[in-house]
Amino acid sequence: MAGKIPRTFIDDLLVRVDIVDLVDSYVPLKKSGSNYVARCPFHTEKTPSFAVTRNKQLYHCFGCGAGGNAITFLMDYSHLNFVEAVEGLADFAGVQVPRESGEMPAKKNNVTEVFQVLEQVASFYVEQLRDNISAKVAVDYFKARGLSGEVAREFQLGYAPDSWDTLSKRFKVQQLVDAGLAIAKEGGGIYDRFRGRVVFPIRDRRGRVLGFGGRVLDDSLPKYLNSPETSVFHKGREVYGLYELLSKSSKPERIIVVEGYMDVIALAQFGLGYSVATLGTATSKEHMELLFRFTAELVLCFDGDKAGQKASWRAVEAALPCLRDGRQVRIMRLPEGVDPDVLIRDQGLEDFELRVSSAQTLSEYFFERLSQGLNLGDMEGRASLVNKAKAYLEKLPNGIFRDLMQDKLKALSKIEKLDFFENPATLKSLRHRQTQADKKLSPVRIVISLLLQNPEFIEVIEQKNINWLMINLAGGDLLKQVVEIIAQHPNINQSQLVEYFRGRETEKYINIMMNHDFLISGAGLKEEFSGAIDRLIQQGKSSRFDELNAKQKVSGLSVNEQQEMLSLMSPK
Binding site for Zn ion (CB under 5 A): 40, 42-43, 61, 63-64, 66
CA 396 vs. chain centroid, Å, equals 16
Decide whether 394 or 477 has the Cβ nearer to Zn ion. 394
Helix-strand-coil split of the chain, %, nearest 5: 55, 10, 35
Q: What is the rounded end-to-end Cα distance, in angstroms, of the chain?
A: 51
Decide whether 63 or 213 has the Cβ nearer to Zn ion. 63
For 480, the 3-state DSSP assignment is helix
CA 108 vs. chain centroid, Å, equals 24
The CB-of-427 to Zn ion minimum distance in angstroms stands at: 11
Decide whether 211 or 399 has the Cβ nearer to Zn ion. 399
The CB-of-436 to Zn ion minimum distance in angstroms stands at: 23
Decide whether 111 or 425 has the Cβ nearer to Zn ion. 425
- Provide CB contacts within 8 A for 526, sequence distance 6+: 454, 457, 460
Q: Alpha-carbon distance 261 to 267, whole Å?
A: 10
Decide whether 63 or 214 has the Cβ nearer to Zn ion. 63
| Cβ proximity of 225 and 198 under 8 Å | no
Decide whether 63 or 443 has the Cβ nearer to Zn ion. 63
The CB-of-514 to Zn ion minimum distance in angstroms stands at: 16
Q: Alpha-carbon distance 256 to 250, whole Å?
A: 15
The CB-of-72 to Zn ion minimum distance in angstroms stands at: 13
Cα angle for residues 496, 501, 504 (degrees, 5° grid): 160
**108: exposed, middle or buried (Cβ count in 10 Å: 0-12, 13-18, 19+):** middle
Decide whether 137 or 400 has the Cβ nearer to Zn ion. 400
Decide whether 16 or 431 has the Cβ nearer to Zn ion. 431
The CB-of-69 to Zn ion minimum distance in angstroms stands at: 16
Decide whether 119 or 325 has the Cβ nearer to Zn ion. 325
Question: Shortest CA distance to 263 belongs to which of 393, 397, 145, 141?
Answer: 145
Q: Cα-Cα-Cα-Cα dihedral of 486, 488, 491, 492, to 10°?
A: -60
The CB-of-27 to Zn ion minimum distance in angstroms stands at: 11
The CB-of-76 to Zn ion minimum distance in angstroms stands at: 10
Q: Alpha-carbon distance 52 to 29, whole Å?
A: 8
The CB-of-559 to Zn ion minimum distance in angstroms stands at: 60
Q: Alpha-carbon distance 175 to 355, whole Å?
A: 45
Q: Alpha-carbon distance 466 to 464, whole Å?
A: 6
Q: Alpha-carbon distance 546 to 564, whole Å?
A: 12
The CB-of-458 to Zn ion minimum distance in angstroms stands at: 32
Decide whether 49 or 110 has the Cβ nearer to Zn ion. 49
Question: Shortest CA distance to 336 belongs to which of 315, 307, 362?
Answer: 307
The CB-of-511 to Zn ion minimum distance in angstroms stands at: 14
